[in-house]
């Protein structure tokens, strides 16, 4: 669902899909082999998979289910052992990724999301931006209406982030002003 409904989400990017599912499968199989098919193994597999995905920056929520499937999937999954990592997990993750690439690009939605490099913080832009104006709810609604796809953030959360960023910018400007005096 993430790949097709919210393709801009960091959770739906190629590294998150492949890395998240594969690392979770490895952890799930390892927990199943060391701890058996038990609640303890299931809990350990899910927790360790989430921790590993965070550490590897490949968080993909279905990865938690992959880890659980490796533990609770029954005799057919247990029989596969680490083969479960390659087929079905890695193979199906690659197929889903290819389908997401094809479908999203056919729909003219850029996928995967490209990282846009930001200007060096100490370089001044060649064109000075206009004076900052406060952003209103109406401005936010208008900007959000321009997006033709679901964004993976609520309007209230986005507004809160913008307000916090504005506050931090004001604090930074005041500190710079005091330092220059």
- Per-residue pLDDT, 169: 81
Residue 96 included in any domain: yes
Last residue of a domain, one of 86, 106, 126: 106
- In tens, the pLDDT along 98-135 reads 999 999 889 888 889 876 565 555 555 555 555 667 77
What is the Cα–Cα distance from 90 to 20, expressed in whole angstroms?
Answer: 10
The count of domains in the chain is: 2
More reliable by pLDDT, 144 or 94: 94
What is the Cα–Cα distance from 25 to 83, expressed in whole angstroms?
Answer: 10
* Total H helices, total E strands in the chain: 9, 0
- Per-residue pLDDT, 125: 52
Tracing tokens 């003219």 back to the chain, one arrives at: 108
Phi first, then psi: give them for residue 82, nearest 5 degrees.
Answer: -70, -10
- Asked if 50 and 99 touch (Cβ cutoff 8 Å), the reply is no
| Mean pLDDT of all residues belonging to the chain | 87
Range of the structural domain that residue 45 is part of: 2-106
Structure tokens at 143: 């900007």
pTM over 0.85, yes/no: no
Residue 43 included in any domain: yes
Instruction: Categorise residue 36: left if φ over 0, alpha if ψ from -120 to 50, beta otherwise.
Output: left
């Amino acid at each position: 669902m993430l790949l097709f409904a919210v393709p801009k989400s960091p959770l739906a990017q190629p590294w998150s899909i492949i890395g998240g599912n594969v690392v979770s499968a490895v952890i799930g199989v390892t927990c199943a082999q060391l701890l058996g098919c038990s609640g303890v193994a299931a809990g350990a597999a899910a927790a360790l998979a989430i921790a590993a995905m965070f550490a590897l920056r490949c968080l993909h929520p279905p990865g938690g289910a992959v880890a659980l499937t490796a533990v609770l999937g029954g005799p057919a999954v247990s029989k596969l052992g680490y083969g479960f990592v390659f087929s079905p997990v890695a193979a199906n993750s690659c197929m889903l990724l290819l389908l997401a690439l094809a479908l999203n690009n056919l729909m003219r939605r850029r996928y995967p999301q490209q990282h846009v490099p930001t200007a060096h913080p100490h370089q001044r832009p060649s064109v000075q931006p206009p004076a900052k104006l406060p952003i209103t709810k109406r401005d936010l609604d208008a900007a959000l209406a321009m997006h033709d796809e679901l964004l993976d953030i609520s309007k209230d959360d986005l507004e809160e982030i913008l307000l916090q960023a504005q506050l931090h910018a004001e604090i930074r400007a005041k500190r710079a002003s005091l330092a220059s005096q």
